[in-house]
Amino acid sequence: MQRRSLGRSGLTVSAPGLGCMGFSEFYGPTDEAAAPAALEAALALGYDFLDTADMYGHGRNEALIGRVLRGRRDQVVLATKFGIVREEGSGARRIDNSPAYLTAACEASLRRLGVETIDLYYCHRRDPSVPVAEMVGAMARLVEAGKVRALGLSEVSPETLRAADAVHPIAAVQTEYSLWSREPEAGLIQACGELGVALVAYSPLGRGFLTGALDVEALAPDDFRRGNPRFQGEALACNRALAAALGDLARERGATPGQVALAWLMARAPHVIPIPGTRRPERLAENAAASDLALTPADIAALDALFAPGAAAGARYAEGGMAGIESAAG
């Protein structure tokens, strides 16, 4: 697989990396007993950039990854996040960026992961009531204490990124970015390039939709995509037409739609690192192979036209899911 730099941190990672959220919840029934085998398969394929967060599975996701990494900590670059606080049982959530909270959250993540240092520590969502300098200053103290190697932000504006980077170097910004979510091109990807910051693209396969293999009607009742605007009604019909066209182009290239979607992302800029998530070893291998797929300028132009900004129908999240997400426009 390709290797790409995490900003100016000195860390390099596999591209693609692996988003681990789905091992614990959100995408229907999970089998955490089977998850270690998938993670083992990922490591064998060369994935060494694992992405989790303290809110995934109320901490279970971090604990799962920690168990798998025992005895092999030096094989991976480990990223986790703080900032979204979920209440057990009710599912209610709030955002907390306070220095006291993030310091305690880091200690809890270190315990669950079973490590002494987190390689990349993100603010998962921004709380505008806490000044950027105050939050990043507290994160920087974690670096000084040896608990964190590099700092990241998630779903922030170029303005927030610049303010944060002025306090302490930011290694990466994580945001949703894919053929059907091109908002980062309005300013964020450019700001990352100017500052020497990696742009880590989550949901690079449109939450599975761009693979062409997702049966929306068969989604489990607790799969959060059932409530996502892009998977409903007229929006779904529009987006199915886009996915079908992507499938046609992929067949002409002798690749899968998912591979084409990932290759398109990696061709956007050398600082873009997609982190598709999957629980299936065969998909892990398929996604890894996208690293070697070279799209032609004509392919890229066709994809740019097909998935022009705004072409995908429906909002990225239901209304509640947009809390803490800043505009990517610069």
Catalytic annotation, residues: 56
Structure tokens at 258: 């998912």
CA distances from 326 to 55, 150, 261 (A): 20, 22, 24
In 196-273, which ranges are continuous DSSP H helix? Answer: 233-253, 257-268
CA-wise closest residue to 20 among 72, 55, 70, 71 = 55
Q: Angle of helix 297-306 relative to helix 233-253, nearest 10 degrees?
A: 170
CA distances from 208 to 133, 230, 297, 325 (A): 36, 12, 25, 21
- For residue 15, the surrounding DSSP H or E stretch is strand 12-15
Contact assessment for residue 282 and residue 42, using Cβ atoms and an 8 Å cutoff: no
